[in-house]
Amino acid sequence: MRRRQFLGGLIAGPWVASAAGETLVIRNAKILTVTRGSFDGAILIRDGKIVEAGPTVNTPAAARIIDAAGQFVMPGIIDCHSHIGTEAVNEGSVSVSSMTGIEDTVNPEDIGIYRALAGGVTTANILHGSANAIGGKNVVIKMRWGKNAAEILLAGAAPGIKFALGENPKRRGGGLGAQLRYPATRMGVEDVIRDAFSEAKAYKAAWDDYNLGAARGERRIPPRRDLRLEPLVEVLEGKRFVHAHCYRADEILMLLRVADDFGFKVRTLQHVLEGYKVAKEIKEHGAGASTFSDWWSYKMEAFDAIPYNAALMHRRGVLVSLNSDSSELMRHLNQEAAKTVRYGGLSDEEALALITINPAKQLAIDDRVGSIEPGKDADLVIYDKHPLSNYAKVQRVFIDGQLYFDRDQDMSERAGKAERRKTLHEKQKPVPARRPQ
């Protein structure tokens, strides 16, 4: 805890808290809207929302002007798979941990949030880990650095839950020393999921029956509430998104078929490194795919991973995004997107969509974020060069029209912070005890 107070004292934000009703104009910029083309122009922002974006915009006299001459503005990056801002990631003691949720462990002071912000990320899907076939519930956060745990949540984002297939959930089924936990194979992973949904279906039927009776005025004892099955009932009812960690084509297909049998949709396949092999089936099911740009070979199930995965799935009509699953990779998702131009020949706009509007659609928040369009949240990143260049760096980041990251300011505060750090270190040194002579 002491560590966190230490940090909290050193880094404060947002730097510019725009009062409600403030009007902001970013002008002279090269604007990459992602959904509505690119042009030299300006963006008008009011009450945290984009009002207008075009070659010229109506600039009210009272507007604060940000001159972005020679710079590029793009929508804030959205990471569809991250574990920052949490105190805990995996509840791995059981194979179904749907009763757990990241919301209970949100840590808004995780430095990962500030660093992600400095990498142009404004929104992230914070997922449970992949230790079990059915994991815990997620949250979607905005990088509102300096705000509390409740304030960083993106209100209104659809709830979701993590699933995991392949090597990770079966890991505890083997090995030496560790207490064994079912499952040990991909067969067992399917079994765990089918078992859980069979239970959830029965549980839902019991409640439906009870509610029907209650509506008729019958007085019955309600079924016992089951916090483990409730989220799965929400999945069956289409009220909770499934974000499924997966690698190999066989396990991907398995989950799609299980979902078909139980009548729910897999919202996103996460990592989905062999997605290119079953892109047709993914498209038919209607699942989105959130993958790495070029990770491969770090484990057996990643050996057929190819950097062309995003391009191949995209060409088959799958809704594709690139994610980080890493607080480091998260800092340069723009560079990861650039790799899809190299591997698979996507256009610049298609590449940028993989880290903006596509993940927004996957999380069903595309009415709020993911592109530069009137009515959307003013979540914007200003780069000094085209964001798909490996030489580009983030200059400023706005969330809801507020400046949350400013490189110049960050740099100008460094000397002072170093000084304060030194003072704090001095204070931490133990005072030598005076001993009686």
Q: State which of positions 347-386 bind other proteins (CB under 8 A).
A: 385
Interface with other proteins, residue 412, by CB under 8 A: no
- Binding-residue total with other proteins (CB under 8 A): 52
Interface with other proteins, residue 142, by CB under 8 A: no
**Which letter, b or e, does each residue of 368-387 get, where b requires 16 or more Cβ atoms within 10 Å of its Cβ?**
bbbbbbeebbbbbbbbbebb
Specify the residue, 148 or 390, whose C-beta has the smaller distance to other proteins: 390
Q: What is each CA distance from 219 to 211, 213, 222, in whole angstroms?
A: 10, 8, 9
Q: Among 2, 3, 225, 427, indicate the residue that binds other proteins (CB under 8 A).
A: 3
Q: How far is the CB of 296 from other proteins (least distance, A)?
A: 6
Specify the residue, 319 or 329, whose C-beta has the smaller distance to other proteins: 329
Q: What is each CA distance from 5 to 1, 106, 114, 397, in whole angstroms?
A: 7, 16, 15, 24
Q: How far is the CB of 377 from other proteins (least distance, A)?
A: 24
Q: Among 191, 312, 361, 364, indicate the residue that binds other proteins (CB under 8 A).
A: 312
Q: Among 64, 239, 257, 280, indicate the residue that binds other proteins (CB under 8 A).
A: 280
What does the block give as tokens for 289?
């795919």
Q: What is the dihedral of CA 257, 259, 262, 263, to 10 degrees?
A: -110
Interface with other proteins, residue 186, by CB under 8 A: no
Q: How many angstroms separate the CA atoms of 245 and 168, rounded?
A: 9
Interface with other proteins, residue 434, by CB under 8 A: no
Q: How many angstroms separate the CA atoms of 162 and 268, rounded?
A: 10
Specify the residue, 157 or 311, whose C-beta has the smaller distance to other proteins: 311
Burial of 412 (0-12, 13-18, 19+ CB in 10 A): exposed
Q: How far is the CB of 220 from other proteins (least distance, A)?
A: 48
Report the candidate in 144, 151, 255, 148 with the shortest Cα–Cα distance to residue 193. 255
Q: Point out which span in 46-54, 151-159, 228-236, 304-312 binds other proteins (CB under 8 A).
A: 304-312
Examine residue 55 and say whether the peptide bond preceding it is cis (omega within 30 degrees of 0): no
Report the candidate in 52, 12, 108, 77 with the shortest Cα–Cα distance to residue 404. 12
Q: x/- site string to other proteins, residues 318 to 337, per CB under 8 A?
A: ---------xxx-xx--x--
Q: Strand, helix or coil at 257? A: helix
Q: State which of positions 85-114 bind other proteins (CB under 8 A).
A: 111, 114
CB 75 within 8 A of CB 357: yes
Interface with other proteins, residue 260, by CB under 8 A: no
For binding to other proteins (CB under 8 A), which residues are involved?
3, 6-7, 10-11, 111, 114-115, 118, 167, 177, 276-277, 279-280, 294-300, 302-304, 306-308, 312, 327-329, 331-332, 335, 338-339, 341-344, 385, 388-393, 410, 414, 417, 421
